[in-house]
Amino acid sequence: MDQSFKFLIVDDNELDRLTIETEAARFPFLVKMASCSHPLEAFELISRFHPEIVFADIEMPQISGVDLIRKLGGQVPAPVFVTSFPEYAIEGYEMDIFDYLLKPVSSERFEKCALRLHDFCRLRAKAFAFDNVQDTDSIVIKQGHEKIKLQVPDIVYLEAMKDYTRIVTGLKQFLVLSTLNGMLERLPPEKFIRIHRSYVVNRDKMKGIKGNKIFLPPTHELPVGKLYKKALNSIF
């Protein structure tokens, strides 16, 4: 049976809470722990039951979602802001929020978030660290006594996941305890290009770009951020 992960919803709007509950119910690995309307109640429940995921509104009475997540001090591995206000996005990224959903949340957008949450929570328990021995053609990651040597040409893309980075190769994926910027410092800069705040791709793996998406083998499609699109257009 697939591993499941507990989540809590905190939003002072009942309809918005029901929307997230309905969307989450489509994914068996997401298990609702609680749904509440007040951040103080959420804080107590989170401290007691330790959910992996919290879907938090931002503008709420007395305590905002931003203040709630800060007050929790890293207790929640994957906090997700769900808000009507895009202007909080930069602050959310600076706080290492896992994802940022704008209301009204579409089913397609929630699905992308849910699948990323699944990968992150599943891989987090067995995250790797870097080994000190590195060379220009490969990186070595380790977990306990296990070491894995990844060839740089086999890496398709990297994805930021809070304090971790997901490394995707043609056959497997690994979660490494390192920020995306930390990863880039260990990889040859001429081989990789940033396409988004959360994504870095192997230049040799890029198959094409259309609109705001880039295509990678075998069937990966990744978003292209506005700040990075001009540099990509010069390649193709």
Residues 20 and 116 in one domain: yes
Indicate whether 60 and 135 sit together in one domain. Answer: no
Domain containing 174 equals 129-233
Residues 144 and 193 in one domain: yes
Please give the pLDDT value at position 202: 95
pLDDT tens readout for residues 64-78:
999 999 999 889 999
| Shared domain check, 133 and 113 | no
CATH code: domain of residue 55: 3.40.50.2300
**What residue type is 68 in one-letter code?**
L
Q: In 10 A of CB 130, how many CB atoms?
A: 16
Asked if residues 83 and 103 have their Cβ atoms less than 8 Å apart, the reply is: yes
pLDDT digits (tens, 9 = 90+) for 125-158: 788 887 766 667 888 898 877 889 999 999 999 9
Q: Is residue 94 over pLDDT 80?
A: no
Asked if 55 and 113 sit in the same domain, the reply is yes
What is the reported pLDDT for 204?
A: 94
Cβ atoms of residues 198 and 159 within 8 Å = yes
Whether pLDDT at 105 is above 50: yes
Q: How far is CA 221 from CA 120, 137, 173, 224, in A?
A: 18, 25, 16, 10
Q: What is the pTM (predicted TM-score) of this model?
A: 0.75
Q: How many domains does the chain have?
A: 2
Residues 80, 179 share a domain: no
Question: In this predicted model, what pLDDT tens digit does every residue of 193-223 receive, in sequence order?
Answer: 999 989 999 999 999 888 889 999 888 999 9
Q: Are residues 215 and 136 in the same domain?
A: yes
Of 86, 109, 124, the one marking the end of a domain is 124
